[in-house]
Structure 1
Amino acid sequence: MRLKKFVAIGTAVVLSLSFVGCSKNNNKNDKVNNTVSNQPSTEGTDDTATDTADTTKDDVLSYANIVLGESYTDISTTIKFYNNRTDMNLDDYNGKKWEEYVADFNKVYPNIKVEIDADTTYAESALLRLQSGDYGDILMIPEVSKSDLSKYFVSYGDLPTMEGQVRFASDMAYDGQVYGVAYMGTARGIVYNKAVFEQAGITTLPKTPEEFIAALQAIKDKTDATPLYTNYAAGWTMSAWDDYISGTATGDATYKNQKLLHMSNPFENKADGTGPYAVYKVLYDAVANGLTEDDFSTTDWEGSKGMLNNGQIGCMVLGSWAYPQMVAAGDHGDDIGYMSFPITVNGKQYASSGPDYRLGINVNSSEDNQKASMVFVKWLTEQSGFAYNENGIPVAANDNNFPELYSAFDGIELVSDDPAVAGEEDFLNLINADSDLMVSAGGNTKVQQIIEHAANKDMTFDEIMADWNAKWTSAQEGNDIEINQ
């Protein structure tokens, strides 16, 4: 095995998705209808989970040991929180702003000042800042090799303990330690305009690729709306398609981080409408059949929000994080709906879900700033109501109050991506780097090429998939990764 690499991967808001219960002993596939509530949670975790140690006595910095309002109240410092949410600083932002969250935090910790540093080019800039050492005290962790996590970030605690504290704990775990806490979770589906679907005569939401393409054709035939808007020009929106190839397309929590790494020709046609082939073919067929925008090179991400809201667009393939933005983008928020991706596995539908960006704490910050930062992360997770306010899946392990949005997934199981087995944590990064496919790691270029080839009709979909398989195999072989035939 060659030495593990630092892989600089530009990502968007949405990354690889996983949703698990309170610990890895829980059922990996939880039904959302058992956990939906319309009330935000402002409660902390159960006292038995948090009061395991008195940090004022032993001063051991760990997430589980912090008791909000009691631990580290003597600290007086200023911390910097570097993040991608520039929208939360805008005057017209239709939601709770960063300054309001900080003000609420200061009611509990008045001597810890929080400076918000938001960046419109976060995915790329965060990697540069990480390498320069100038990345504040708290930041949303960009895509780095997991073996490098301890070089940049403080451990929140060991994995078994953290699995009892937060959802998605294993996502940023390495060698038994957890280096990132999600700031909210998301589910993967399709945001759509209910009025457009109704006008097109679509009375039942599609559950297979064939049904979905037929629905898009009905929208084209019976309405003036663009059936599927690709958002090609934005770039980062293209990588969202990668997030549907695991749990959504297979119903298998072990697919992405365990099986895919060793799979022979993972992009081949499984002939049952499942797997990566089925996901990407939806996009190819939509473009090839003229069911997307007229000129993919001129798509407008910001403009698309209002276009979906007012019925000029039928649907877009985006995570649930996009839903509130589409609702707020015009006067027709009630027309916005969210549905599962149209793949059925053995008669059942699944939806991948998991963390949005994960919050890391700078390992080089002062001791006081590390403590203050962990206090803020825990407060944001447990007492701020942030995830609920942003229509996200709550992160605190005992918080089962889901926004109403997730009722659309009634009967559909949310599936986590289990972590890689010990010793294989960096296999996906290695394969991605050498194949240039960047699966679930900001791989927008390869998905853009699907649109280009479909529109130009210069390469069939099977030819594209054959090329990807060859690149994947070469990367596996080059890194001495066993291939299961």
Structure 2
Amino acid sequence: MRLKKFVAIGTAVVLSLSCVACSSNSKKSNDKTTNNQPSTEATDNASKGDDTSNDVDTSSNEALSYENIVLGESYTDISTTIKFYNNRTDLNQEDYSGKKWSDYVAEFNQMYPNIKVEIDADTTYAESALLRLQSGNYGDILMIPEVDKTDLSKYFVSYGDIDTMNNQVRYATDMAYDGQVYGVAYMGTARGIVYNKAVFEKAGVTTLPTTPDEFIAALQAIKDNTDATPLYTNYAAGWTMSAWDDYISGTATGDTTYKNQKLIHAKDPFADQGNQTGPYAVYKVLYDAVAGGLTEDDFTTTDWEGCKGMINNGQIGCMVLGSWAYPQMVSAGDHGDDIGYMSFPVTVDGKQYASSGPDYRLGINKNSSEDNQKAAMVFVKWLTEKSGFAYNENGIPVGANDDNFPELYKAFDGIELVSDDPAITGEEDLLNLINADSDLMVSAGGNTKVQQIIEHAANKDMTFDEIMADWNAKWTSAQEANSVTVNQ
């Protein structure tokens, strides 16, 4: 792992996606990760996979593959204990309203009674997981943190080749390198906006906005006709800011190759495209909302835990968050039926798109014993294909042929869900390098730059075009530092 990238990513509060949130101690929490102190279970309950002195050569273990596992039949003779290191501390909480880890493990043990699963959930997962990898103390299964693709085989077992795995699971190429797949997502998410339907209706917004201009107009209507905060930024939480990066690729371009193939070679990717599409259009929505007084009065005092109840009871109009946030807002009060989910307001050539991607991907420790590797792969396949976990958590199912989508995705009828294509061979880590050298950390936990948009918009000390020009200059400098060919 390159030291520069390790430091850059490790100091980010969270990863993007994607797909993270903060755990709560409230009655109906349904969160994804927390920013509290790290768990100490790992050192107390180290599994066989934690001892790197017992390295196992899995290159000859050809029978171990995701495709070949038949649940309930394969590896039923194994008796072992495996550790699953993850970020879902909420699934360990007594007041959690959904299925807990203990429930899932109990169901798994009905099929595999001799494979014990210890859950090690960490409150500072995004940072701690990287450190665990370096120490070798990362259990048998873990949610893969942000590592170089070239390093995947150093830490994880292959589930199978890309062609095979594409027929088994969604998002197979996301954690693949040199033709092998090293991570299987435990669920997928879509990128959109969680909103209060009653607030929009009271404001007179009867048709959901499909362009940035329409969205700003809707926020203005909420301000003019209701007492709700039109758009709640969640600035103070920090990690919530990186969610904005998730909309600049497929959602804003309709192009599945944009993020991993074109962005790194783009000349001034943050420049105005002139048609309300692309990264410029996405970030400008935030700037215009803040500059227009359409967000909270004091962005420094936003409250992540409190905002859930606030949107549930109609004090907030909407928040830009992935679909993972929807169930949390529904369960945060007595007005769950008022919570809706809509696509981000960008239209490309008359059509709307919504980026869809994996939440954390599950990797299996290369240094675990052979039995533990087999047991771990069995548990991963059971969790993704038999447990109903993705459906229960309002996620997109992972099985390649599983179309049992939760109710909230009906909001995307007529909107095409698009997933990012992988990088070109030989360029798998180029985006990471440009991110690190530019300090922008696009789609890699880059919450600071988005916070700065809010700060400049509120202080009126820098125009949006000046911000984007600065980003373009940093991007160009990073491209030059890495000898990247720039497409004019």
- The Cα of 1:131 is off from its aligned counterpart by 1.2
Counterpart CA distance in 2 for 1:78 and 1:251 is 45
2:336 alignment counterpart:
333
- Residues 364-383 of structure 1 mapped to structure 2, 5 A cutoff: 364-383=367-386
Q: CA deviation at 1:60?
A: 1.4
Name the CA distance, whole Å, in 1 between partners of 2:75 and 2:67. Answer: 14
Whole-angstrom distance in 2 between the partners of 1:112 and 1:233:
42
Q: 1:85 aligns with which of 88, 94, 105?
A: 88
Cα distance in 1, alignment partners of residues 151 and 85 from structure 2: 19
CA–CA distance in 1 between the matches of 2:366 and 2:4? 21
Which of residues 163, 168, 173 in structure 1 aligns to 2:166? 163
The one-letter amino acid of 1:107's match is: Q
Contact 1:263 1:483 in 2 (8 A): yes
Matching residue within 255, 271, 293 for 1:252: 255
| Distance verdict in 2 for CA 1:285–1:274, change over 3 Å | same
User: In structure 1, what is the Cα distance between the partners aligned to 2:309 and 2:16?
Assistant: 20
Is 2:456 the counterpart of 1:453?
Answer: yes
| Contact 1:324–1:391, Cα closer than 8 Å, also in 2 | yes
> Shift of residue 4 of structure 1?
9.2
Q: Which amino acid aligns with 1:423?
A: G
CA distance in 1: counterparts of 2:131 and 2:124, whole angstroms: 11
Distance 1:456 1:5, change over 3 A: closer
Gap change, CA 1:4 and 1:235, over 3 Å in 2: closer
Tell me how far apart the structure 1 counterparts of residues 422 and 17 of structure 2 sit (CA, whole Å). Answer: 14
Matched, 1:278 2:281: yes
Q: Secondary structure of 1:329's partner? A: coil
Structure 1 contact 7–144 (Cα < 8 Å) conserved: no
* Structure 2 CA distance for partners of 1:6 and 1:146, relative to 1, 3 Å: farther
Q: CA-to-partner distance for each residue in 1:353-405, whole Å, 9 max, x for gaps?
A: 01001001111111111111100000001100000111110001111111111
| Cα distance in structure 2, aligned partners of 1:337 and 1:384 | 26
1:303 equivalent among 303, 306, 315: 306
Query: Which residue of structure 2 lines up, in the alignment, with residue 482 of structure 1?
Result: 485
CA offsets 1:176-229 (integer angstroms, 9 cap, x no match): 010100000000000000000011010000010001001101111111111100
Selected match of 1:178 from 163, 177, 181: 181
Within a 5 Å distance, the mapping from 1:30-49 to structure 2 comes to: none
> What SS does the aligned partner of 2:317 have?
strand
Letter in 1 for 2:334: D
* Cα separation, 2, equivalents of 1:3 and 1:451: 31
Q: How do residues 232-243 of structure 1 correspond to structure 2 at under 5 angstroms?
A: 232-243=235-246
Q: Give per-residue Cα distances to partners, 1:220-257, cap 9 Å, x unaligned.
A: 11111111000011111000000000000000001010
Match of 1:262 among 258, 261, 265: 265
Residue type of the alignment partner of 2:419: S
Whole-angstrom CA distance in 2 between matches of 1:195 and 1:152: 48
Separation (CA, whole Å) in 1 of partners of 2:413 and 2:13: 30
1:197 equivalent among 174, 195, 200: 200
Structure 1 CA distance for aligned equivalents of residues 17 and 364 of structure 2: 19
Partner of 1:43: none
Provide the C-alpha distance between the structure 1 equivalents of 2:276 and 2:282, rounded to a whole number of angstroms: 8
Q: What amino acid sits opposite 1:156 in the alignment?
A: Y
**Equivalent position to 1:437, from 440, 444, 466:** 440
- Secondary structure of 1:434's match? helix
Q: CA deviation at 1:12?
A: 3.8
> SS of the residue aligned with 2:263?
helix
Please tell me the residue identity of whatever aligns with 2:295: T
Instruction: Look up the match of 2:401.
Output: 398
TM-score by length of 2: 0.89
Q: What secondary structure does 1:359 align onto? A: strand
**In structure 2, what residue type is equivalent to 1:15?**
L
Which position in structure 1 is the counterpart of 2:222?
Answer: 219
- Letter of the structure 1 residue corresponding to residue 251 of structure 2: T
Contact 2:237 2:303 in 1 (8 A): yes
Q: 1:13 to 1:306 in 2, by over 3 A?
A: farther
SS at match of 1:442: coil
How far apart are the structure 2 equivalents of 1:385 and 1:454? 43
| Pair 1:389 & 2:392 matched | yes
Contact 1:185 1:393 in 2 (8 A): yes
Structure 1 stretches of 4+ moved >2 Å: 2-8, 10-14
- For residue 485 of structure 2, what is the amino acid of its counterpart? E
**Residue identity opposite 1:172 in structure 2:** M
> What displacement does 1:8 show?
4.8
> Which structure 2 residues correspond to residues 415-426 of structure 1 after superposition, within 5 A?
415-426=418-429
Q: What are the equivalent positions in structure 2 for 1:77-116 lying under 5 Å apart?
A: 77-116=80-119
Q: Is the 8 A contact 1:11 1:442 kept in 2?
A: yes
Cα offset for 1:14?
5.0
Over 3 Å counting, the alpha-carbon distance change for 1:436 and 1:59 in structure 2 is closer
For residues 187 and 141 of structure 2, what CA distance do their matches in structure 1 show? 15
Partner Cα distance (1:307, 1:82) in 2:
32
Match of 2:17 in 1: 15
CA distance in 2: counterparts of 1:337 and 1:92, whole angstroms: 24
CA distance in 1, matches of 2:78, 2:272: 58
Structure 2 match to 1:31: none
Q: Secondary structure at the match of 1:454?
A: helix
Displacement of 1:3 after TM fit? 10
Change (3 A) 1:7 1:60: farther
Give the conservation status (yes or no) of the 8 Å contact 1:4–1:426: no
Distance 1:236 1:3 in 2: 23
Q: Is the 8 A contact 2:143 2:361 kept in 1?
A: yes
Q: Is the 8 A contact 1:13 1:356 kept in 2?
A: no
Structure 1: gaps (5+ residues): 18-57
C-alpha distance in 2, partners of 1:3/1:428?
15
1:276 aligned counterpart, secondary structure: helix
The 5-angstrom pairing of residues 56-71 of structure 1 reads 60-71=63-74
- Counterpart position of 2:350: 347
The 2-side partners of 1:474 and 1:59 are apart by 45
Mark the runs of 5 or more structure 2 residues left unpaired by the alignment: 20-60
CA distance in 2 between partners of 1:312 and 1:5 (Å): 40
- Is the contact between residue 8 and residue 144 of structure 1 (CA under 8 Å) also seen in structure 2? no
Q: For residues 434 and 14 of structure 2, what CA distance do their matches in structure 1 show?
A: 20
Contact 2:391–2:405, Cα closer than 8 Å, also in 1: yes
Counterpart of 1:289 (choices 272, 288, 292) is: 292
